[in-house]
Amino acid sequence: MPVPVSPTCRALCLLTVAAALCAACAAVRYQPSLVVGHVDEPIPVRVELRDLTDATPPEDARRTLGGTSATSHESLSGDLSIAVTDAILTNLRNDGFFTEVRRRAGAPDLVLSGTIRRFYGKSYVHPIGWLSSLVGLPLFTSRGTVELELAFERADGQRVGAYHSEVSFAEWGTALDAPQRAIGARLDRAFGDAMRDLRAQMSRDRARLTAKR
């Protein structure tokens, strides 16, 4: 037998949903950031990092009605390609992954370039959220994907190594969790997991990357 819901409870639930929607409709501010971890022994090469190509589908950045998107033009300051490349450069440099890595390196041993296939994080009211909010079930869903391809070449264009990683997430949360405000941090965690995987692949290729022609 259904549990009756009092008018007061129903009104409070509707107010909660309305407040959540108002918070969701406000654009978040997002700047890609990476945390992976310092390495004990860098790969002894000088690397020139070139801006990654943005090949993400346009719909990835679009906001869903009643939700937020970390990479929408309202949230992301500037170009996604530049922002992701900057984050990778800072991470590789600060963690000492290579002997040297910079955007314009004089006579580099290797040139690192790549493609952003997917890079998005969204949080929005799920269609069942309107009903589930009345009985305290999850209201928001958050999902996203980071898919990156990186490749090393020598100055003459000879391919040395290619790497791919894809990390996705799909989670539920209530309005009290404010997942729409945390979507940037959640996307950064996926970004970090993908970069951790790419760095592990590069480390396994250490002999190839450091081999002389």
HSE value, Cβ hemisphere, 13 Å, CA-based, for 46: 7
* Structural domains for the chain: 7-210 (3.40.50)
pLDDT tier for residue 6 given thresholds of 50, 70 and 90 = low
Pair 129, 64: CB distance under 8 Å: no
Q: Which of 63, 60, 61 is nearest to 25 (CA)?
A: 63
Longest dimension (CA), the chain: 77
pLDDT tops 80 at residue 173 = no
Helix axes 183-204 and 80-94, enclosed angle (nearest 10): 60
pLDDT tops 80 at residue 67 = yes
What's this model's pTM, rounded to 2 decimal places?
0.82
What's the confidence (pLDDT) of residue 15? 46
What's the confidence (pLDDT) of residue 77? 84
What is the secondary structure of 61-84 as a DSSP string? GPPPTTEEETTSTTTB-S-HHHHH
43-65 confidence digits (pLDDT tens): 999 999 999 999 999 999 998 77
Pair 10, 52: CB distance under 8 Å: no
114-163 confidence digits (pLDDT tens): 999 999 999 887 665 555 555 555 577 889 999 999 999 998 899 999 99
What's the confidence (pLDDT) of residue 28? 77
> Mean pLDDT: which of 127-131, 170-174, 199-203, 209-213 is highest?
199-203
- Residue 160 tokens, joined: 């040395």
pLDDT tier for residue 180 given thresholds of 50, 70 and 90 = low
pLDDT tops 60 at residue 26 = no
For 93-102, 123-132, 137-146, 192-201, which range has the lowest pLDDT when averaged over its residues? 123-132
Pair 121, 190: CB distance under 8 Å: yes
